[in-house]
Amino acid sequence: MALHVDGDGSTSTQVHLDELTQRTTRVFLVVGLASLVWYRSVDVVLDDLMARLSPCVEDCLNIYEPAQWSVVRWMTALLLGALSGLPYALHQAFQFAKPGLLLTERRALRAWMMFTLTVVLTGSWLLVAVAVPEVYARGYVHHRSIGLDAQYSAIHLISMAGFAVLMWLTMTSVWCSTVSLGWMGWITRATAPVWRWRLYGAATLIMVAASPPTARSAILPMVLVTVAINEQLGHRWWRSLPFQHGTLTEMFDDLGARRRRLYVDCSCAGANAFGGAMMERDEASVRATALCLHRTEQERLVQHVVGANITDVVITGCDGKPCPSLLKRNLNGLQCTLSGLNLMGMASHRGDPAFIHPLDLDHAILGHCVPLGLMHGSVERTTGDAVGPLGEMTTVQHTMNWVPAESPVGRQ
């Protein structure tokens, strides 16, 4: 399955791999150089950090394992280098992914990166400068109140502060991802269970893997806090109705394969008088203002075809030929057929394209449905006479077909 966007070319896989290698190498070089620069002043940074984290006025911090302090110095320099190079890394990641993203996906990814980066950096600074020192100070007061001689490990204090920052990064990533996916329309009532498993499962695994032994008891409360806040942030999307109107039902073709048909209720820039008529029916449909003109509507349709596994797209206004070749290639790559009811052409035959006959849409849908070759029989039921689209008297008949239950298609 391959989707194409504007500007796509015949770039080989090797060219993409070469570009990925170049951009990744640049990011590693930037992070490495920034880490070396930070290492020259890492002692100053650690002294300032310990002054902020220290809960007591007198000397109460000790280094019980000198070898571990060297590791802390290098890890601190590397962490500061990674944070310094994070904006550049996000820029390189966006530039690499941009040619292969739809317009809505580009906007959502850019917003997600900028918002997540801002929230992570701001929250990390508040944790290290305010929240964590306040927790340590309260613990120190409690220890002194019960008569304990307060002596703390400097390495342990820094490790717990780093763990708090990592947990904040994990939780904010989940929250920002939910908001971005909701803006894109990917989270609906139908897809909510899948995204809940992905987001909460990944967050739980990261928290379990990154937590030190002394913080294992805090994993469950942090998971519950993450889930509770995320449910509140995404409540408007968890319960939202899908982009699609009506019920998507499956049918069998002449080979017994399952087909899922979706109607595009297109107004054709106001030229189709039948625009919006599908909203009163039970068939699965989506609204469009001018599918052949608006790229956003085309991309949204392709996303829905992928998510709902649509096999047939039927446009109400035209016969599908005016649609851009890019949309046709994408649907063809998804093994989805594109056709149309051509209601505008039907209306033009009577000289008044704005006139809507109540039977036009029924006739077009019934005429477009391909009979199943494996049908066992049919029964015709006459409902009475009515005025046809051209003013003639016609008899409306409903044909009911069935598939024998003992046949392969019936058992399926």
User: Which CATH number fits the domain that encloses residue 285?
Assistant: 3.40.50
Q: Is residue 142 part of a domain?
A: yes
Measured in whole angstroms, the distance separating CA 301 from the mean position of its chain's CA atoms is 15
Spatial contact of 285 and 263, defined as CB atoms under 8 Å apart? yes
Structural domain includes residue 165: yes
Other Cβ atoms closer than 10 A to 145: 8
Q: Which of 144, 162, 180 is the last residue of a domain?
A: 180
Q: How confident is the model at residue 350 (pLDDT cuts 50, 70, 90)?
A: low
Distances (CA, A) of 247 to 89, 242, 243, 286: 44, 11, 12, 11
Confirm if 172 and 223 have CB atoms less than 8 A apart.
no
Instruction: Please indicate, yes or no, if residue 203 is contained in any of the structural domains.
Output: no
Please check the confidence at residue 242 and state whether its pLDDT lies above 70. Answer: no
Q: Cβ contacts of residue 275 below 8 Å, gap of 6+?
A: 265, 266, 267, 268, 316, 317
- Calpha distance 34→22 (Å, rounded): 18
Does residue 375 carry a pLDDT above 70? no
- Gap between the Cα atoms of 188 and 120, Å rounded: 27
Average pLDDT over residues 214-233: 90
133 and 39, same domain (yes or no) = yes
**Alpha-carbon span 197 to 113, nearest angstrom:** 22
Bigger pLDDT: 369 vs 153: 153
Tell me, what DSSP letter sits at residue 359?
A: T
Number of domains the chain contains: 2
296, pLDDT greater than 80: no
- The per-residue pLDDT for 397 is 47
Percent of the chain residues past pLDDT 90, beyond the cut? 11
Asked if 174 and 255 sit in the same domain, the reply is no
Name the domain boundary from 180, 197, 225: 180
Phi, psi angles (nearest 5°) of residue 237: -100, -30
Q: Is the pLDDT of residue 214 over 60?
A: yes
Tell me the average pLDDT of the chain.
Answer: 78
Distance CA 6, CA 79 (A): 38
Confidence category of residue 278, pLDDT binned at 50, 70, 90: confident
* Inter-residue contact 23 to 96 (CB < 8 Å): yes
User: Does 270 share its domain with 148?
Assistant: no
Q: Do 168 and 52 sit in the same domain of this protein?
A: yes
Q: Tell me, yes or no, whether 35 and 173 share the same domain.
A: yes
Residues 23 and 152 in one domain: yes
pLDDT of residue 163: 86
Residue where a domain stops, chosen among 180, 199, 217: 180
For residues 227-246, give the mean pLDDT.
80
Q: Rounded to an integer, what distance in angstroms lies between the CA atom of residue 307 and that of residue 299?
A: 12
Tokens of residue 351, six digits: 């000289």
User: Where is pLDDT greater, at 52 or 12?
Assistant: 52
Do residues 130 and 268 share a domain? no
Domain coverage including residue 75:
13-180
Contact assessment for residue 284 and residue 244, using Cβ atoms and an 8 Å cutoff = yes
Q: What is the mean pLDDT of residues 304-314?
A: 82
- Between 151-160, 249-258, 400-409, the lowest mean confidence (pLDDT) is in 400-409
Residues 155-167, mean pLDDT to the nearest whole number? 84
In this prediction the pTM is 0.59
Residue 238: inside a domain: no
